[in-house]
């Protein structure tokens, strides 16, 4: 499986690493750009400093993620799985396409704001979502924010974020940004379910990891520059079998905490599965007689 890389400013010229530290380089960049670009650069810097963690979303999981209804979930429940920003990578042949635009990558971060910044309403946070979108002959970076200060649903937060993103420079781009926000929201609600998500290890160690679950294989991959997780890799499509699929569950005291995990698969159209077709190449009795007399 091939993935589209996030091209960071720090990677544009490797000689920069000899002249500047990571902080110095991004500090200079942030002093020269417009205010709305500072968030992008800060997130990118923190992602690199955090060893570039990523989620690899496999093709079979994209449609279930996009169809999952999160309309009633309060946006305050979105939580990053790790402390640093996270890159959500889609396959090169991503099916997330709208009007000749393809969603390639999503870089997401969550920042906590204190009581003073939150106008005396207590500590809160916001989620910054940076999208890497491919349009004919160019790539676009769009940045939107999900504000978690107000007690609104994820669906309403999407509407607010897209309204504040400004004038749509490309017809249809807000549709693909909305899909990116949906994917991010599902990823930030995922439970640590091994059927759905697991650490990525080196190809040569995959079988040994699956048999032993020894964390040394995860650490080995991280030392080699692979600090990430695979999502939806093991989902299969079997005729007449409803594969395990993502579902929203409410857990905890009073069932007030939303999480997303796998719902067990099941056989559908059982009568079709259990019916053995006959009559191909002669009746069963004729075939048995032919074997007995040969």
Quick one: average pLDDT of 272-278? 41
Other beta carbons within 10 angstroms of residue 58's beta carbon come to 15
Would you state the pLDDT for residue 236? 53
Quick one: average pLDDT of 214-218? 93
Query: Is 90 exceeded by the pLDDT of residue 93?
Result: no
Would you state the pLDDT for residue 294? 41
- For 139-208, the DSSP string reads EEEEEEEEE-SS--BHHHHHHHHHHHT-S-SSTTHHHHHHHHHHHHHHHTTB---TTTEEE---GGGHHH
- The answer for 158, left when phi > 0, alpha when psi is -120 to 50, beta otherwise, is alpha
More confident residue, 169 or 61: 61
pLDDT tens-digit profile of 137-159?
778 888 888 988 778 899 889 98
Domain co-membership, 185 together with 248: no
Domain co-membership, 153 together with 22: yes
Domain co-membership, 68 together with 143: yes
In a domain, 91, yes or no: yes
Under DSSP, the state recorded for 253 is G
Domains of the chain: total: 2
Q: Which of 31, 42, 37 is nearest to 141 (CA)?
A: 37
Would you state the pLDDT for residue 288? 41
Domain co-membership, 126 together with 28: yes
More confident residue, 80 or 196: 80
Would you state the pLDDT for residue 171? 65
Contact 248, 185 (CB under 8 A): no
Q: Measure the CA angle with vertex 50, ends 133 and 1; round to 5°.
A: 50
pLDDT tens-digit profile of 106-139?
999 998 865 445 455 556 688 999 998 888 777 8
Final residue of a domain: which of 158, 189, 220? 189
Contact 54, 107 (CB under 8 A): no
In a domain, 23, yes or no: yes
Domain co-membership, 273 together with 138: no
Give the C-alpha separation, 16 to 11, whole Å.
9
In a domain, 4, yes or no: no
Which residue(s) pair with 242 in the sheet? Answer: 266
Give the C-alpha separation, 219 to 120, whole Å.
42
In a domain, 40, yes or no: yes
Would you state the pLDDT for residue 223? 92
First to last CA, the chain: 51
Give the C-alpha separation, 181 to 108, whole Å.
10
Query: Is 70 exceeded by the pLDDT of residue 240?
Result: no
Query: Is 60 exceeded by the pLDDT of residue 256?
Result: yes
Give the C-alpha separation, 169 to 171, whole Å.
7
The mean of the pLDDT values for the chain is 79
Question: For a pLDDT cut of 70, what percent of the chain falls above it?
Answer: 78
In a domain, 200, yes or no: no
Quick one: average pLDDT of 176-195? 89
Query: Is 70 exceeded by the pLDDT of residue 241?
Result: no
Domain co-membership, 180 together with 243: no
Contact 262, 246 (CB under 8 A): yes
C-alpha distances in Å from residue 76, one per residue of 79, 166, 190, 244: 8, 24, 15, 27
Domain co-membership, 276 together with 157: no
In a domain, 122, yes or no: yes
Query: Is 90 exceeded by the pLDDT of residue 46?
Result: yes
Query: Is 50 exceeded by the pLDDT of residue 96?
Result: yes
Query: Is 60 exceeded by the pLDDT of residue 201?
Result: yes
More confident residue, 57 or 289: 57
In a domain, 150, yes or no: yes
Would you state the pLDDT for residue 163? 77
Domain co-membership, 179 together with 255: no
Domain co-membership, 149 together with 53: yes
**What is the band of 289 on the pLDDT scale with cuts at 50, 70, 90?**
very low
Would you state the pLDDT for residue 238? 45
Under DSSP, the state recorded for 63 is H
Quick one: average pLDDT of 63-89? 90
Contact 46, 85 (CB under 8 A): yes
Lowest mean pLDDT segment, chosen from 99-103, 241-245, 278-282? 278-282
Full domain range(s) for residue 41: 9-189
In a domain, 165, yes or no: yes
Domain co-membership, 82 together with 139: yes
Query: Is 70 exceeded by the pLDDT of residue 210?
Result: yes
Domain co-membership, 173 together with 285: no
Would you state the pLDDT for residue 221? 94
Domain co-membership, 50 together with 147: yes
**What is the band of 278 on the pLDDT scale with cuts at 50, 70, 90?**
very low
């Amino acid at each position: 499986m091939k993935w589209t890389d996030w091209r960071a400013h720090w990677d544009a010229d490797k000689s920069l690493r000899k002249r500047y530290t990571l902080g110095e380089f991004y500090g200079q960049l942030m002093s020269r750009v417009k205010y709305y670009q500072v968030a992008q650069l800060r997130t990118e810097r923190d992602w690199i400093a955090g060893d570039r963690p990523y989620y690899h979303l496999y093709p079979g999981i994209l449609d279930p993620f996009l169809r999952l209804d999160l309309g009633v979930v309060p946006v305050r429940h979105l939580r990053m799985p790790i402390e640093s920003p996270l890159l959500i990578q889609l396959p090169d042949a991503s099916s997330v396409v709208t009007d000749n635009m393809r969603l390639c990558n999503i870089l997401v971060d969550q920042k906590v704001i204190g009581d003073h910044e939150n106008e005396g309403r207590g500590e809160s946070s916001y989620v910054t979502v940076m999208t890497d979108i491919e349009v004919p002959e160019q790539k676009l970076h769009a940045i939107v924010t999900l504000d978690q200060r107000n007690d609104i649903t994820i669906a309403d937060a999407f509407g607010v974020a897209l309204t504040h993103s400004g004038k749509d420079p490309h017809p249809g781009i807000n549709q693909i940004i909305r899909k990116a926000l949906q994917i991010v929201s599902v990823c930030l609600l995922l439970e640590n379910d091994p059927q759905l998500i697991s650490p990525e290890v080196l190809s040569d160690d995959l079988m040994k990891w699956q048999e032993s679950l020894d964390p040394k294989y995860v650490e080995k991959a991280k030392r080699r520059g692979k600090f990430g997780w695979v999502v939806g890799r093991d989902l299969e499509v079997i005729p007449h079998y409803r594969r395990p699929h993502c579902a929203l569950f409410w857990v905890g005291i009073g069932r007030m905490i939303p999480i997303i995990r796998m719902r067990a698969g099941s056989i559908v159209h059982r009568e079709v599965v259990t019916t053995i077709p006959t009559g191909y190449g002669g009746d069963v009795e004729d075939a048995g007689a032919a074997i007995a007399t040969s």
